[in-house]
Amino acid sequence: MRKWLVVLALFIAFVFALTACGDSASSGNGEDSDSSDRLTQLQEDGTVVVGFANEKPYAYEEDGELKGVAVDVATAVLNELGIENVEGHLADFGQLIPGLEAKKYDIITASMAINAERCENVAFGEPEVKYGEGLIVEAGNPLNLHSYKDIADNPDVTVAIMSGATEIEFVQIEGVDPNQIQNAPDIPATFSAVESGRAQATTGTEMTIKMALESLDSDKLEFVEDFEQPNIEGVPSYGAAAFRLDDNELREAYNEKLAELKESDLYGELLEANYFNATSNAVESDITTEMVCSGEVYE
């Protein structure tokens, strides 16, 4: 009888130990509790890992230093949250959301355009900047391309677009056949495609491709000054930082400090310092991420 009591006691102790281990894994420092105290953890660590895309003037690396309007805005906001060290990592634009979901980054920001599809996968902060579209063609514009509809009307035209960019959807809405679209990893690759003749045009956000072309100083390419902006949902685009769907506390704290920044003179100064216009590229105070996600802002 005594032996059975000893065995029973050992069995109960074993079950209790398993239960305790299980509780520790789910509520101690495990993944399930990360979202509720991530802000506190980042503030205590003093470091946040932010994913950026290499897209000037939003985010880019120059002389070993990360620069751009998205970098400057995120740094200003996060510093106000008490997080002094913003550890930036450059990535291909199309890898930002997967990297965020895989917890490679705490936040991603490249003034990423808010749209309905992305709103299902990430939680955007409030808009930080707005911008339109641009088109680059062969020098002299031999095919007379001035809009996305012009590309759609000429099946011989191939347009190179950075993977993951909203322009892939925009051109298709305007009638461009998917077979006319050539994906590229970044802006320089889209330029190379047009220069080599593998594509006849490339498109992207106006400021990005215009500045990139100026830096390239190529006599083979031309920015279309009279490009007709598409009258579609998503134009103009509103760019924002993005968070994991369950990181509500971090996102809300970020939004609070962002709102304060947008009311200050520093906001316009950051835009101007990064080649934007403090008036035309600033986000109106009554525009919210919810309105952009739902499409209400375009109605």
Q: pLDDT per residue over 58-104, tens digit each?
A: 998 888 888 999 999 999 999 999 999 999 998 988 999 999 999 99
- Per-residue pLDDT at 250 exceeds 50: yes
Tell me what pLDDT residue 178 has: 98
**What are the beta bridge partners of residue 237?**
131
Q: What is the mean pLDDT of residues 236-240?
A: 95
Query: What is the Cα–Cα distance from 121 to 81, expressed in whole angstroms?
Result: 25
Mean pLDDT of the chain, nearest integer: 89
pLDDT band for position 175 (50/70/90)? very high
CB 162 within 8 A of CB 93: yes
- Per-residue pLDDT at 33 exceeds 80: no
Percentage of the chain modeled with pLDDT above 90: 77
Tell me what pLDDT residue 35 has: 64
pLDDT band for position 154 (50/70/90)? very high
Tell me what pLDDT residue 101 has: 96
Tell me what pLDDT residue 216 has: 93
Give 265-271's long-range contacts (Cβ < 8 A, gap of 24+).
Answer: 266/76, 267/73, 270/69, 270/72, 270/73, 270/76, 271/69, 271/129
